[in-house]
Amino acid sequence: MRALSIAATGMQAQQTRVEVISNNLANMGTTAYKPRRAEFADLIYQQPRVAGEINAADGTVLPGGIQLGMGVRMVSVGYDMIQGSLLQTSGELDLAIQGGGWFEIELPTGETAYTRDGNFKRNADGQMVTSEGYVLQPEIVIPDETVKIAINAQGEVYASFQNQVEQQLLGAITLADFANDRGLEPIGGNLHLETEASGPANIGEPGADGRGALRQGYVEESAVDAVREITELIGAQRGYELNSKVITAADQMLAATVQVR
């Protein structure tokens, strides 16, 4: 009774789909979060008769075969790399990327991570850091006597000082982009690591070579669409129920077979 194992794979697939959807809904308020999508593929097929075989009886070519599917399997959970809405915060160090690209972050291990979360702060040393204290790269150090920070679309950071008309250039923020953003490895905390699937990081100026421009005083909101997620959730729930009904029907068929005298 193959229907039992086939329906079981369907239930497992829909359970995974619900888990992915629940994670998306849980991150509706996460800065710059990109929704995930579970992707599936059918399993191998048993083919007692292959289309195109020669009929042994009269030598004719069979126009159709017998293909018995074995169920479904999960292929991957990928990103939807769509732009989230920009939320105005008026924070001097809040930055949003309007378009493609990632901020470079140095982890305590010395490894480089990447994020689109632009909720930056200033630490005790004047460095621009993430909410968890990881230093933005290239390093930007803001002097203690700074009274105002201005960051333009190209990532140049200027400081204004009291009794000084001309602004001082502190440095420039660069962005990284990848041949395959979906290949990045998420490690939590809105951080991602480069992988072989993503390809190496291409570092450059914001607004150039396909990278997005920076917007000071804004952050990128989560790109989760609640209506779409609820619709997906209903579909996954119905799919799970239908597969469970197949198992019930298969069980009843087996019971009927056992009772035959």
> Please, are residues 105 and 130 in contact by the beta-carbon 8 Å criterion?
yes
pLDDT at 62: 67
Q: Cα(60)–Cα(82) distance, rounded to whole angstroms?
A: 53
Q: Tokens for 25?
A: 């809904």
Mean pLDDT of 34-60: 81
Encoded tokens for 181: 């953003």
Indicate if the pLDDT at residue 49 is higher than 80: no
For the whole model, what pTM was predicted?
0.86
Q: pLDDT at residue 164 above 90?
A: no
The pLDDT score that the predictor gives to residue 66 is 78
The residue type found at 236 is A
Four-residue CA torsion sign, 58, 61, 64, 65: positive
**pLDDT tops 80 at residue 250:** yes
**Beta-strand pair 185-188/191-193:** antiparallel
The pLDDT value given to residue 46 = 83
Across all residues in the chain, what is the average pLDDT? 92
User: Is the pLDDT score of 259 beyond 90?
Assistant: no
- CA 20 to chain CA centroid, Å, is 11
Give DSSP secondary structure letters for 187-256.
Answer: EETTEEE--TTT---EEE-TTSTTBPEEEETEEEPP---HHHHHHHHHHHHHHHHHHHHHHHHHHHHHHH
| 112 or 251, greater pLDDT | 112
Confidence (pLDDT) at 57: 63
Residue 155 near residue 175 (C-beta atoms within 8 A): yes
Asked if residues 183 and 197 have their Cβ atoms less than 8 Å apart, the reply is: yes
Whether pLDDT at 11 is above 70: yes
Structure tokens at 118: 């632009």
Kindly state the percentage of the chain with pLDDT values over 90.
79
Question: Is 56's pLDDT higher than 60?
Answer: no
pLDDT over threshold 80, residue 65: no
Burial of 211: CB neighbours in 10 Å, binned 0-12, 13-18, 19+: buried
pLDDT > 90? residue 103:
yes
117-157: per-residue pLDDT in tens?
A: 999 999 999 999 999 999 999 999 999 999 999 999 999 99
- Taking residues 64-76, report their average pLDDT: 86
Please name the residue that has the structure tokens 């809405």. 85
What's the pLDDT tens digit per position in 198-219?
999 999 999 999 899 999 999 9
Q: Length of the chain, please?
A: 261
**Helix ranges, the chain (H):** 2-26, 226-259
